[in-house]
């Protein structure tokens, strides 16, 4: 059983903290994805696990060993980088075998491991080629194979698909997921792409400014974001976020914002009190839209994005007539394909009150958590 445990791990450059007090426990065979914007500390965290960066404070354990002070070669991990880092003058076979030769692995075992990895990755027919004769996807498979032959306790992948085109990224993403299922070894994957995070990870770790914002299964994080950062970062198209206040109207707690008024679900905890300044969050797929007059929140369509099976409609909600200086709230609705919608048309939005999120305006924390 190989668990990876990070305890209060921090990395500082002088007074600048890049990663602060990070706690994370990874179960044996788990696929963890570190995701966040550039500069959030995800790659630095991966490099500390690999031993490529020193830990300023805290401890890292891999299995039963404290590896905090060990060199990379002593940690029994394998790393796959964004650039393929293949030896251009060596064949694919020699690239796969090189690390094993350096460790003085017997020739028969090298042959067995290289053939096994090549078959696993579907590159048996490429073993005699040089890197310049390979496509980007093929080079990334060789890079994965070089890690695979080492039989490490963990694979660390630092944005390995960033150099590939969109279609190839999707295919390689699928292959990495399938590889993890076949091999069953711990994988820690770094990306800024939240779609990669959602589709690959058993759990995802959302980071921002060196701190972990939330850890959880992809759909748990999507359905129950811990704070405003997670709500805005996870999800495409992004969640609608509208500032407003809670008010009591005829015995009910209502959210009141520019151009929109919604009842707060009775199940919402006692933190949702009248007078509280909040940010309303609702995902675009949790609202519907109708044309013409009637109930609902009125607005004008400002943008239509046809996405094949879906239509994303962006509306500017009507401002409160009693407060003409208020800026209109922009609202996104994701629906099944609708060919008839046009910019400039008037319509009504119907958010599902049972699917709303309320975030404290000061702290950004989800009031339901």
Q: How many CB atoms lie within 10 A of CB 111?
A: 13
Same fold: 4-233 with 240-360: no
CA distance 210 to 45: 9
| Sequence spans of domains, the chain | 4-233, 240-360
| Overall CATH class of domain 240-360 | mainly beta
- Multiple choice CATH, 4-233, 3.30.70.1530, 3.40.1160.10, 3.40.50.300, 3.40.50.720: 3.40.50.300
| pTM, rounded to two decimals | 0.89
Q: Identify the pLDDT of residue 283.
A: 97
Residue whose entry in the numeric block shows the structure tokens 């209060």: 8
CA distance 192 to 207: 10
Q: Identify the pLDDT of residue 269.
A: 64
Please give the average per-residue pLDDT across 222-231, as a whole number. 96
Closest to 354 in 3D by CA, of 263, 280, 290, 284: 263
Token digits of residue 272: 């949702």
CA distance 343 to 304: 7
CA distance 305 to 139: 35
Omega before 54 within 30 of 0, i.e. cis: no
Each residue's pLDDT tens digit, 306-338: 999 999 999 999 875 544 445 668 999 999 999
Q: How many CB atoms lie within 10 A of CB 13?
A: 9
Q: Which stretch of 95-99, 318-322, 359-363 has the lowest confidence by average pLDDT?
A: 318-322
Q: What percent of the chain has pLDDT over 90?
A: 67
């Amino acid at each position: 059983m190989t668990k990876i445990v990070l305890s209060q791990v921090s990395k500082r450059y002088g007074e600048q903290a890049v990663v602060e007090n990070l706690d994370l426990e990874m179960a044996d065979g788990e696929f963890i994805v570190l995701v966040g914007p550039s500069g959030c500390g995800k790659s630095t965290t991966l490099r500390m696990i690999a031993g490529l960066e020193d830990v300023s404070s805290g401890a890292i354990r891999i299995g039963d060993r404290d590896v905090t002070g060990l060199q990379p070669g002593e940690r029994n991990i394998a790393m796959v980088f964004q650039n393929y880092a293949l030896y251009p003058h060596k064949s694919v076979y020699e690239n796969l075998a090189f690390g094993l030769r350096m460790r003085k692995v017997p020739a028969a075992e090298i042959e067995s491991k290289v053939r096994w990895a090549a078959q696993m990755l579907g590159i048996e027919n490429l073993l005699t080629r040089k890197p310049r004769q390979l496509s980007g996807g093929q080079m990334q498979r060789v890079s994965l194979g070089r890690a695979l032959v080492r039989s490490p306790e963990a694979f660390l992948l630092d944005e390995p698909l960033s150099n590939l085109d969109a279609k190839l990224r999707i295919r390689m993403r699928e292959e990495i997921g399938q590889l993890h299922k076949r091999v069953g070894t711990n994988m820690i994957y770094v990306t800024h792409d939240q779609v990669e995070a959602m589709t690959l990870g058993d759990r995802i770790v959302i980071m921002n400014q060196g701190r972990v914002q939330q850890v959880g299964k992809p759909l748990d994080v999507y359905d129950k974001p811990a704070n405003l950062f997670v709500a805005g970062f996870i999800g495409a198209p992004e969640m609608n976020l509208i500032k407003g206040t809670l008010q009591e109207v005829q015995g009910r707690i209502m959210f009141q914002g520019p151009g929109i008024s919604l009842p707060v679900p009775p199940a919402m905890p006692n933190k949702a009190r009248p007078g509280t300044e909040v940010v309303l969050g609702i995902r675009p797929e949790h609202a519907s839209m109708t044309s013409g007059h009637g109930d609902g929140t009125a607005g004008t369509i400002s943008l239509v994005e046809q996405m094949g099976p879906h239509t994303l409609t962006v509306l500017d909600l009507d401002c409160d007539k009693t407060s003409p200086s208020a800026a209109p709230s922009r609202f996104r609705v994701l629906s099944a394909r609708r060919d008839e919608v046009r910019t400039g048309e008037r319509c009504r939005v119907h958010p599902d009150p049972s699917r709303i999120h309320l975030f404290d305006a000061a702290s950004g924390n989800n009031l339901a958590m």
